[in-house]
Structure 1
Amino acid sequence: MALPRPSFALPAILFALWLGMMLFGGPHGAADAALAGLFRGEALVPAARLLTRLGDWPVLLPLTAVGAAALCFAASARRALLFAAIVLSGRLLVELQKIELARARPDAAGRLVHVSSLSFPSAHAAYSMMTWLALALLLAPPARRTLAVAAALLLAFAVGLTRLVLHVHWPSDVIGGWAFGAAWTLLLVRLAAGTARPRGHRPEPEQVNAPRFNET
């Protein structure tokens, strides 16, 4: 089963979206403040508290180990390593972004769960996007890949939205997390597909009658 080969245009567009969210969002962005108000409401809070767990690193780390084992058994060790590389390197890059940008979160008085890290990008949005999307791309057979990717995106979107319901992120943090997570996943999968040798490929034998050049 060959690796999927997403177009390089997709991660490029997503990285541009991530950059826009990084540069123009946050506490001083009028759009962020307006959009954040759309997610105020007590009815969704209990479900958000539960669903947001699917983006917690203590949940996704064991899932990464299980997913890598499943890929090693059902596909190949190469796919398992690629999956682990996407998730672990992506996590490192997300943490570096938080430290470097140091964007403040929404007012602590309105937060409905405890958080201690900085705001951009949303780690829950990015981690869930990378983990679930990579698993769908690398584990699902081609006939079911579209459905698996759709389910992964739906789950990642749901996890990201919980961070808005719980008032711990700006909308641009969540959109930036989704965009970065998807872009990083698609880029690494595409690069890996570009270096993979198709199954059954054999190097061309040297031509027997190739011209020879005598040394002079």
Structure 2
Amino acid sequence: MELPELGALLASHPREWWLAGMVAAALWGALALSGLRTVRRHSPPLRRFLPARAHGVVVAAVGASAGALVLAGATMAELAESGRTGGHWGALDDAIAAGLRAQADTAMLNWFATLTHMGDSWVLTGAAVVVAVALWVRQHRLLATGWLVALAGNGALTKILKALFERVRPEHVHGIAQEDGFSFPSGHSSASMTAYTMLAYLATRLLPRAWHLPAAMAAGALIFTTGWSRVVLQVHYASDVLAGWLLAGTWVLCTVLIMESVSRWRGAAPSLASR
């Protein structure tokens, strides 16, 4: 199937692709939870390859995180270049955007305009404050710090990358949603992925095991919903959303890797997650 045809297919059935995407993202969340459990079961990351002194584990985690960020940055640069030069991703972006401009009706746009609020800055900022205060009051200082670092770091990186790539947003004249500023990467997508993934991670640290899988799957569904809403509303290209997910996923991975290593370093008491 040619890219314009694929783009037209995606644009012609946005609700159906939303439902299918939520299911796929929920399953991805379950897979991520399985990976986290495997890491925990086999001790801190890289411990078997490092000296017993715990600070070495933390240093290795920081180094691995830096490498992951470099790889993610290179991949995002490829996505941005493809959009700028009309490469494969650029062609798919244009086909989806054109199809949605021609076919998306008002009822559909209003529906996704409601869903997109899950990634609004005021919603996630409020959640950041409430969760941070709750964690701090309950003496979960490391978790509170990691939560804030994840959200603040992702926000700062998103702003830097928007200014660096300076991609113009797709045309959106329907009046139901209006966004200014640069497009790449999608701030809603990266912020929602950071917040909801970190909430699922906190659930694995603080809640009984029975809650872990529902939290991971719900996070996946919410992340996809927010990102896809930005495409349907035509305020972002599909590659903007992919870049936002890539940025946030890498940043959260780095944050969790370091938090897990520091937790073992400090000999944290077993949580409900390990019972």
Q: TM-score, normalised by structure 2?
A: 0.63
Native 8 Å contact 1:104 1:118 kept in 2? yes
More displaced stretch, 105-114 vs 130-139: 105-114
- Determine the C-alpha separation between the residues in 2 that align with 1:185 and 1:100: 21
Structure 1 position 110, deviation (Å) = 5.3
- 2:81 corresponds in structure 1 to 23
- 1:119 corresponds in structure 2 to 183
Percent of aligned pairs with the same residue? 28
- Determine the C-alpha separation between the residues in 2 that align with 1:72 and 1:117: 35
Gaps of 5+ in 2: 1-35, 46-63, 271-275
- Determine the C-alpha separation between the residues in 1 that align with 2:93 and 2:215: 31
1:45 and 2:109 matched: yes
- Determine the C-alpha separation between the residues in 2 that align with 1:58 and 1:26: 31
- Determine the C-alpha separation between the residues in 2 that align with 1:190 and 1:94: 21
Gaps of 5+ in 1: 202-216
Q: Which amino acid aligns with 1:153?
A: G
More displaced stretch, 132-141 vs 184-193: 132-141
> Aligned match of 2:156 in 92, 95, 98?
92
What SS does structure 2 have at the residue aligned with 1:91?
A: helix
What SS does structure 2 have at the residue aligned with 1:87?
A: helix
Structure 1 position 190, deviation (Å) = 0.4
Native 8 Å contact 2:124 2:195 kept in 1? yes
Structure 1 position 26, deviation (Å) = 5.3
Q: 1:195 to 1:104 in 2, by over 3 A?
A: same
Q: 1:36 to 1:107 in 2, by over 3 A?
A: closer
More displaced stretch, 63-72 vs 166-175: 63-72
Count residues with an aligned counterpart.
Answer: 198
- 1:36 corresponds in structure 2 to 97
- Determine the C-alpha separation between the residues in 2 that align with 1:30 and 1:102: 19
- Determine the C-alpha separation between the residues in 1 that align with 2:133 and 2:219: 19
What SS does structure 2 have at the residue aligned with 1:117?
A: coil
Native 8 Å contact 2:170 2:235 kept in 1? yes
What SS does structure 2 have at the residue aligned with 1:116?
A: coil
- 2:168 corresponds in structure 1 to 104
Cα deviations by residue, 1:10-59 (Å, 9 ceiling, x for unpaired): x5798265444233235831121123345442142111111111111111
- 1:78 corresponds in structure 2 to 142
What SS does structure 1 have at the residue aligned with 2:117?
A: helix
> Aligned match of 1:153 in 220, 224, 228?
220
- Determine the C-alpha separation between the residues in 1 that align with 2:165 and 2:84: 11
More displaced stretch, 66-75 vs 189-198: 66-75
- Determine the C-alpha separation between the residues in 1 that align with 2:242 and 2:113: 19
Larger helix fraction of residues: 2
What SS does structure 1 have at the residue aligned with 2:177?
A: coil
Cα deviations by residue, 1:78-123 (Å, 9 ceiling, x for unpaired): 1011101100111011011101110011124356412111000010
- Determine the C-alpha separation between the residues in 2 that align with 1:27 and 1:68: 43
Q: Which amino acid aligns with 1:90?
A: N
Q: TM-score, normalised by structure 1?
A: 0.79
What SS does structure 2 have at the residue aligned with 1:107?
A: coil
Any residues of structure 2 matched to 1:124-135 within 5 Å, and which? 124-135=188-199
Q: 1:17 to 1:111 in 2, by over 3 A?
A: farther
What SS does structure 2 have at the residue aligned with 1:105?
A: coil
Structure 1 position 145, deviation (Å) = 2.4
Native 8 Å contact 1:102 1:120 kept in 2? yes
Larger of the two Rg values belongs to structure: 1
Q: 1:150 to 1:38 in 2, by over 3 A?
A: farther
Structure 1 position 170, deviation (Å) = 0.5
Q: 1:123 to 1:159 in 2, by over 3 A?
A: same
1:186 and 2:253 matched: yes
